[in-house]
Every structure is written in structure tokens, then in C-alpha cells.
Amino acid sequence: MKNNKLSKDALQPLVDNIEKLSKIQRILIFVVTIALMAGSFWYFSWRPKNDEINKLEKKLADLQKKLSKVKKQAQNKAKFKAEYEKAQKDFILVQQRLPKTNEIPELLANISKSGQESGLDFVLFKPGKEVRKEFYAEIPVSIRVVGMYHQIGLFFDRVSRLERVVNIRNISLKASSKGRRGGGKLNASCTAVTYKFIEAKKKKKKATGRPKFNRPAKK
């Protein structure tokens, strides 16, 4: 509480100076601030995270193909055993970055917790229908929050630091409809996309029944 009070006291001269500016000057400052925030988030958070997702997807697909190939070779050739084990370990390391089905509720709870700890008021937090890919599924979450610009930035930063991969898309920032009475708050909406690894289902072996013949009785 003391830290919040000190922050408000420190920002009061800046607020007073902004109040003295014309309406056009305040709008320009607001637009430039939003542009800097969006540009900084895209450059420092969204773009690296998106590049990481693409690399993980490509690496996961390559490892799956390599693993399938090595499995066939390792069936009858002992010399491929070490290569198979290494490919399997690499595959496991990559899939660990993507949560499994039973971990999704906890991950969604962590995203919501990050927003609350950042001081945001949630207007909407709605997980959507998952989109299945080859080895994983995307789970979009529609989010709308209200808060100060630094609180929104802090929320995005905390989400980017989660252990599991979460990508923020379709960011939209608008001034609060309350105007000046809103205390400079913003309405922010975005889509948080998380991912889950889909384990391949093991095929059941069909029983091959062989015809039985009765041996002729010895005379």
C-alpha cells in the first residue's frame, strides 16, 4: 500500500503537467504511448515467442519423422540403438514445452492469476474450442481486461515468462469509456493461445488366429 501511495505522489507532477496541455497534445501523447507499448510488446515479446513456437513446431515434426525412421531401423539393427535413444530424448524435451491435457486447467489458472497479480480487472476470460494440428492442439482464450497501461504491460510480461508456451495475439488497446474519470485506464482485449501435446494413440494388434488341426490317432 505504501509503495502505491509513493508511486501516485511521484506521478502527480506529471499528471498536473499533462492536465495543462491542450486536448490535441494529450491525444498525441496517448497515441504515441500506445504505439510505443504495442511496438515494444511486438518486438520484445510477441515476435520472439512466435519465432520460438515456429521453431518448436518444425523441430517437433522433424523429430517425429526421425523417430519413426529410426524405430524401423532399430528393430533388427543394434547399431541404431544409441541414435534411437538420443532421438527419443530430444523428442521428449521438445514435447515437455507443450502441456498435456490434464495440465491445461492449471495453465489457464496461471494466466488468470498473472492478470490479477498485475492489478487488472477481468471483463472476459473465455477459453475457446481447441484447434487440432498434427502433433499438438491450439487452445485460444479470449481475454478482455481494464487497467493502467503499465499494468497491462506487466501482465503480458508475466505471461511470456510462464514455463509453458503461451502466445498473445490480436492485441487491442482503447481508452476507457469513462474518460478522465477512468483515471487513465485502458480497455485491452487479446487472444492468449496456449498449446497441448497430443499423444499418438497406440494401435491395438489384431489377434491372428491360426486354424488348429487334430492329429490323427495312432493305431
Q: Residues 173, 171, 147, CA angle at the centre, nearest 5°?
A: 45
At 146 the pLDDT is 93
At 213 the pLDDT is 43
**Contact yes or no for 21/29 (Cβ under 8 A):** yes
Helix (H) or strand (E) holding 48: helix 47-74
166: nearest Cα among 118, 109, 98: 98
Q: Is residue 59 part of a domain?
A: yes
Q: Is residue 208 part of a domain?
A: no
Residue 65: HSE in the Cβ half-sphere, 13 Å Cα cutoff: 6
What domain range is 7 assigned to? Answer: 2-197
CATH number at residue 123: 3.30.70.60
65: nearest Cα among 73, 76, 77: 73
- Total domain count, the chain: 1
Q: Is residue 203 part of a domain?
A: no
Q: Which of the residues in the chain have pLDDT under 70?
A: 1-21, 42-45, 47, 73-80, 94-102, 177-183, 199-219
Q: What is the pLDDT of residues 169-217, one digit of tens each?
A: 999 988 876 545 556 789 999 999 988 877 666 555 555 555 444 454 5
At 151 the pLDDT is 92
d(CA 191, CA 214): 69
Q: Is residue 205 part of a domain?
A: no
pTM for the whole structure: 0.48
